[in-house]
Amino acid sequence: MVSQILAHVDYLDDVITTVSERVATQIAPYAADLTRLDTIPGVNQRTAEVLIAELGVDMRVFPSERHLASWVALCPGQNESAGRQHSQEKRVTGTGGCAPPSQRPPCRPVGRRRPPSRRATID
């Protein structure tokens, strides 16, 4: 049993190495931006890679820093209404290369239809 677990750990190490190499080749054109982000306290190499992958390097798509903070769900919200506290959980943001709002394709709003009115008929 222990040998199977150790073999699985070795397999996972190989997968991590393979994925890390692929990330390194994909992010190579952004080496200068990666180095600049890495100088921010609390941002390491992996975090800088995630920032570039999720946000990109062109910040002109966000009209202001407030729009950027809102898009990544880091802005504070109004969590109280009429004395009632709302959930403090952060909202789930788009992942996997989602585009900022200005670059998203237009979509039709999806909503519920109003239920039919239940009016009595008089005969």
pLDDT tens-digit readout, 53-105: 888 888 888 888 888 877 776 655 556 666 666 665 555 554 444 555 555 55
Neighbours of 61 (CB within 10 A): 15
Q: Locate the domains of the chain by residue range.
A: 2-75
Higher pLDDT, 18 or 79: 18
Read off the pTM. 0.53
Q: What percent of the chain has pLDDT over 90?
A: 24
Mean residue pLDDT of the chain comes to 76
Q: What separation in angstroms does the CA of 112 have from each of 68, 84, 109, 115?
A: 30, 27, 10, 9
pLDDT confidence tier of residue 5, bands split at 50, 70 and 90:
very high
Total number of residues shown for the chain = 123
